[in-house]
Structure formats: structure tokens, C-alpha cells
Amino acid sequence: MSGAVLVAIAASIGNLLQGWDNATIAGAVLYIKKEFSLETQPLIEGLIVAMSLIGATVITTFSGAVADAVGRRPLLIASSVLYFVSGLVMLWAPNVYVLLLARLIDGFGIGLAVTLVPLYISETAPTDIRGLLNTLPQFSGSGGMFLSYCMVFTMSLMPQPDWRIMLGVLSIPSLMYFALTVFYLPESPRWLVSKGRMAEAKRVLQGLRGREDVSGEMALLVEGLGVGKDTHFEEYIIGPDDELADDGLAPDEEKLKLYGAEEGVSWIARPVRGGGQSALGSALGLMSRHGSMVSQGKSLVDPLVTLFGSVHEKMPEVMGSMRSTLFPNFGSMFSVAEQQQAKADWDAESHRDDEDYASDHGADDIEDSLNSPLISRQATSVEGKEIAAPHGSIMGGVGRSSSMQGGEAVSSMGIGGGWQLAWKWTEREGADGQKEGGFQRIYLHEEGVSGDRRGSILSMPGGDIPPGGEYIQAAALVSQPALYSKDLIEQQLAGPAMVHPSEAVAKGTKWAELFEPGVKHALFVGIGLQILQQFAGINGVLYYTPQILEQAGVGVLLSNIGLSSSSASILISALTTLLMLPSIGIAMRLMDMSGRRFLLLSTIPVLIVALAVLVLVNVLDVGTMVHAALSTISVIVYFCFFVMGFGPIPNILCAEIFPTSVRGICIAICALTFWIGDIIVTYTLPVMLNAIGLAGVFGIYAIVCILAFVFVYMKVPETKGMPLEVITEFFSVGAKQGKEATD
């Protein structure tokens, strides 16, 4: 995964430049005021700082639609160019008006970076470490602030500090960022697939993953072009052939036969009916009861949160060891890593002859054609229909599993996070009495079975499961494929997600998709998080940190060693920023282990306590020393826990919960909310201070944090370890079923 990690580090330099700029202008404005005599012109002074916010807000309005149209990488390149140009103009700036123009250009670069970097990292990162890599922008931003404060502090010790050099230095790291975006960063593979550039997407994925076989993920990206229709959940019990009994299970004609990577190894999967229900199935049942619960006032948590949470329920110990003991050859179904080592031997029923395919397409044609199939057209006849088997060209690789439903072929591939992507062919009798067939897409996920349910889910002839019974339980999210088309079926191609005709590809943002129930639900979550983050108090605490630490005696200590008030203020800010870095490192470690929701619910209560202490010490007369000590501790605790949760997670979630076709425009809407909230909070803070005082301001922030905790608990799902396409599918099915239940 080193390729994806290095790409994420390089992309996050855009946030380092944002942090660098924020810290630099905070120090430089002290000297700008003196040169241009702005002490009597607070409006101009405020605009010098605010122009970057205005620029970021303006550019964010357009960035989403443009990113969906021309790609993520061009906008990252544009961001680096804007940073570089703004640095040069600030270095020159003969008067305050040119400086304001430079700050506006700088804001354009900041807006693009803040919007596009989380989106880009989410689309290139592996599922299992996506949270860690998407915390890098927060770490880079804070690191940039610390480095900038160190530079500004050093320059403040000079006899005549030059603010132009302070601001102009931005051009140096931005030039490095430009080189990385042009010569190193690839385009997002998800965006490439959305434009039909399959061969290029495959090469990018191979570089990011460090392996040749990217078949499962390529198929997943195609399916991500749209959210499936007629989605429903099914449950399967999977075990060695002849291991499963029929009691409580579906009839034999409904069984799925799964083939492993080694010849002669196979398993049987049967849909579970009635008694046994997985955690995912139980959560879905809650959806159907949601309407009555709302009407009775009993529903507190969004059923969608429960639905997501069911995926992350801890598996029983016996199930956790099953992958390595009971099913040593089952890697093609539930282990991506083992796919790379498995042999290309197939069971006789699933074996295909590659020579026929080679006669249809040359290797070069396959790589270059926009219409090239992801999986070979080569097929086996199944009741008059041709169903394709996986092929080794674009989707090539070994160790997949193929399955049969009533004798019909189904292929399956690992897509990360313990999920499998598969397709099956189904037939039904139409209104005219004729049989109608079509593909169905399956997202398959292994689940644990608690001890008290094992007997009810699966029984053997003569009693319960014998000791050492080899089986697993899997939940399946079944829906119509994203690119389903009757024309594809009539052409007897490999299946909707297995071919990629360029005319079927989304040509740009489909604005109507913004009003889909799942997208609207995701926008509600994303916008809500951004608003609550801005009003949770970070700007107020940052603004008053120097004052609070000065009261603690830090300013006096620094002045005693010969530092001016300006240098002391800058050094205090640098030390405060330095304290954030270890906390962000802890968050990076926990983001994919404990999860986004867990970190929010764990850190927000600490923010509430820290703000409450700041309110009390400003209301009560606790003495100078106690006031200084409690204020200092509260500020440090607030910063450390904010950057562990509420700092990075809203941007991480906003980059995960939207479909590929509208991800750019949706994350831009959330980013626009962020910037508007930033402007409102920043410029209402002085008014609020005059009206209700420091204790009143911190009290309002504490109330907002309480509301944020309630919002997260009720509305924000856990997305760790889930492929982006599965996340959006969950939002879609959850929102639709929730709406049906309340109608």
C-alpha cells in the first residue's frame, strides 16, 4: 500500500500550505498594521485576513462541478499554481490593495485544496486505511502552522522584521507542491472509470495497490457509477459441500455453489429463511418498524445508524478464527490478500478456455478500447443464456471464486473491508408468460453468529451443529447493477458491471441525483457536521489562547527572557499548535480501529467539559493562580481533543458518504457550508463578546457541543472499513426504506 500512502502524503501538502498561510498572516499582520498605519482602519485590517476566506468561499462554489467534469488532479495542480502566484504577489505588494488581491488569490488556492484533498485521498486510499490517510490533511495543516510560526518567530527577533518575506516564502513549498501534482500524483481511478478511461484507471490502481490483480476493485468502481435499484438484503449460510442440511434453509434449487481457487474445492451457500437473522438483517427489520416508532415517540437513533453499526458488530471468537482454521482455502471469498497467492486452477464446472477469447480481441485492443470488457465475453451456456467468467486482461488475476445458482455462473471478488462483490443471473416469468432474465449485483459480507442463535440458524440431521462444524454466515446486499441495460443482455455480454460501453458512462454531474433520498440524507449528515464543527468554539478558543496563556503568566515569563510582546504572542501560538500534533497522531491510529463515530462520541464530551470550565473560571472568583491554571489546562485539553475528533472527521465523512457521480458537487456543498460558517463565527465573535462577554460566548459553544453530541449519536453512522460504494448503497437503501416506513 506504499503507493497510496505516498500519494496521500503528497496530496496533503495542499493542507500544509493552508496551515502555513493561516499562521503566517496571523504573525505578519502585526507588522502590516504598522507600515500602512491601519490602527485607525480596522475594516482594512480585517479584510487583509478575511480576503482568503472570501476567496475560498467563492472558488468552492464552482469547484465541485468542475472537479466532476475535468477531474480531481487538474484542480490540485491549479491550487498549487494559485498558492505560488499569491506568494509572489505578496512578496511584491507595493500597497495594501495589491496585498488584498494577493490574499484573494491565496484564498482560491486554499478553497481548492480544502475541498479536493479529502475527496482525492478517499478515492485513492485502500478501504482498510482510508481513515488514517484522510487524517493526514489535519496533521499536515497543523504541521504547516507550527513550521510557519517557527519561521515568523525567528524573523520577529530581527531588528526590522519584513512581513513581505514572511508571506512570500509561501511560494517555495508551493513550488514543490506544484511539482508533485504535475509529475507524481495520478488522477483518481474512480473519476477515470466514470469517464470510461478503463485502461488508465487500471494502471493507476495497480500503482496505488502495488499489485497486478486489481480485478475486484475495478469492478467495484464501475458499480459505483450509480446506486443500485430494487435493493434488498438476503442472508446466506456457507459451508463445505454436503455440510449444510436443509432444515430451516431454502430448497436446493435456490442454493449457490461457490468454487475456490484450487481445483476440487467448493462450498454451498443457501439463503436463510425465517428463524435465523444476522445483525444486518435485524437492523433492516428495524427499518420497517421505524414509522410506528416515530409516531409513538420511541425512535431516538436513525435506523440508518443501526444499519451501519450492524456491520461492525464484533464477531464471536469462534468466527474470528474461522478464516485461518476452518476455511484455509476460502481466501478467494473472504480474504483479499490470499487472492494474490492462489493458483489459477478452477473447478471443472467453472474452467474456461482462453483461446476463444484471444481470437475475439487482441491484448492491445482490450487495453486501449473504451468499450473493452472488464471481464471476458467468454462464456458458458446456462439454459440458453451466456454468463461470463472472469478473464485476465483488464480485470485479470487469479484466486477469484465463481459460483453457480441453480447451475448458473456467478463471479465474486474481494473489494476490501471483508466485503465481496458478485453478480448472479436471475429469471422470472413476465406478464406475457415469457421468461425475463437479468443480472443482480451482490455485496456480500461475512458475519458472526452468536452462540444462542447457532442452532436456530443451522441444524444438522439428528441435532444441532456438531463440534467443529465448518460454516460461516454472510449477509448480502442485492440490487440491480448500476449499468443494467437490456441491450447488454441481448448482446450476451458479460454483465452490466463487467462491460463498460463509453456511451453508458456518466458524462458529468447529474443534478437530479442530488434529490435522491440517499444523497439528501447524506447531505443532511455532511452539512450538519460542518455547521456544528464551526460553532463548536474552535475559532473563539484560538482567538483567545494568547490572552488566556498570558493570564497564566507565560507572557511574563517570556518577557523576562527579553522577548517583545509580538514575539511572545507568536511563540505562544507555536507552542499551542505543537501540542496538537501528538493528538492528531493518536487520531490517525484510532480512525480505522475504533472508527469515526466512536472518536466523535468520545471526544465531544471532553470539549463540553473544557468549555464548561472556561465558563466557570470567568464567572466565579477563583483567584488569579487558579484561574490561570484552569484556563491553561482547559485550552490545551480542548485543542488536543478537538483535533482528534471534530477537527478531521467531518471532512473525512463528507468524502465518504456520497456517490461517485455527485461526490464532487456534494463535498463542495459541504465545504461551502464550512467556509460560510467560518466567516459567520469569525465576524460575530467581537459582537458576541461585547454583548454577553467571554463566559457567555464559551457557554454558547458548550451548548453547541451538546447539540453536536446528540446529532452524532442519532444521525451519524460508522463508515470504517467499508468501501465507498457500499457506504452509498447503505445510505440509499436506508433512506428509501426509512421513507417508506414513515409514509
- Weakest-pLDDT range from 19-28, 150-159, 561-570: 561-570
- Weakest-pLDDT range from 96-110, 437-451, 694-708: 437-451
Q: How far apart are CA 545 and CA 541, in angstroms?
A: 6
Q: Which of 419, 477, 473 is nearest to 449 (CA)?
A: 473
pLDDT at 630: 87
* CB neighbour list of residue 38: distance below 8 Å, 6 or more residues apart: 32, 44, 45, 48, 96
Reported as a pLDDT band with limits 50, 70 and 90, residue 470 is: low
Q: How far apart are CA 528 and CA 524, in angstroms?
A: 6
Whole-number average pLDDT of the chain: 75
- Weakest-pLDDT range from 31-35, 47-51, 184-188, 387-391: 387-391
Contact between 413 and 441 (Cβ < 8 Å): no
DSSP string, 430-489: -TTS-EEEEEEEEEEEEE---GGGHHHH--BTTBSPPTT---EEEEEEEEE-TT--HHHH
Helix (H, G, I), strand (E, B) or coil at 735: helix
Q: How far apart are CA 110 and CA 221, in angstroms?
A: 29
Q: Chain-centre distance of CA 455, in angstroms? A: 38
Interval 293-325: pLDDT, tens: 444 444 678 888 888 887 776 444 333 333 433
Helix (H, G, I), strand (E, B) or coil at 46: helix
126 vs 186, 187, 313, 596, 665, CA distance in Å? 15, 15, 21, 16, 23
Spell out a b/e string for 528-538, using b for 16 or more CB atoms within 10 Å of the CB, else e.
bbbbbbbbbbb
Interval 68-81: pLDDT, tens: 899 999 999 999 99
**Residue 140 grid cell:** 499536515
Q: At 646, which amino acid appears?
A: F
**Residue 449 grid cell:** 453468529
Residue 497: how many CA atoms within 13 Å on its side-chain side?
Answer: 34
**Residue 373 grid cell:** 470488457
The residue length of the chain stands at 743
Interval 615-665: pLDDT, tens: 998 888 888 788 878 888 898 899 999 999 999 999 999 999 999 888 999
Q: Which of 416, 240, 413 is nearest to 329 (CA)?
A: 240
Interval 586-600: pLDDT, tens: 999 999 999 999 999
More confident residue, 105 or 448: 105
pLDDT at 496: 44
Alpha helices in 129-195 (DSSP H): 130-134, 136-156, 163-168, 171-183, 189-194
Work out the number of other CB atoms within 10 angstroms of the CB of residue 582.
12
Angle at CA of residue 506, ends 734 and 478, nearest 5°: 35
- If you average pLDDT over residues 674-696, what whole number do you get? 87
CA-based radius of gyration for the chain: 29
Interval 332-363: pLDDT, tens: 444 333 333 333 333 333 333 333 433 333 43
Q: Which of 97, 721, 169, 242 is nearest to 445 (CA)?
A: 721
- Is residue 381 pLDDT above 50, yes or no? no
Q: How far apart are CA 563 and CA 569, in angstroms?
A: 10
Work out the number of other CB atoms within 10 angstroms of the CB of residue 644.
27
**Residue 204 grid cell:** 493507476
Spell out a b/e string for 678-715, using b for 16 or more CB atoms within 10 Å of the CB, else e.
bbebbeeeeeeeeeeebeebbbbbbebbeebbebbbeb
**Residue 166 grid cell:** 514572511
Q: Chain-centre distance of CA 57, in angstroms? A: 22
Residue 79: how many CA atoms within 13 Å on its side-chain side?
Answer: 31
Angle at CA of residue 348, ends 343 and 351, nearest 5°: 60
Work out the number of other CB atoms within 10 angstroms of the CB of residue 129.
18
* CB neighbour list of residue 139: distance below 8 Å, 6 or more residues apart: 12, 581, 584, 585, 588
Domains of the chain: 1-227 (1.20.1250.20), 509-742 (1.20.1250.20)
Work out the number of other CB atoms within 10 angstroms of the CB of residue 439.
22
70 vs 15, 73, 181, 439, 600, CA distance in Å? 22, 9, 15, 32, 34
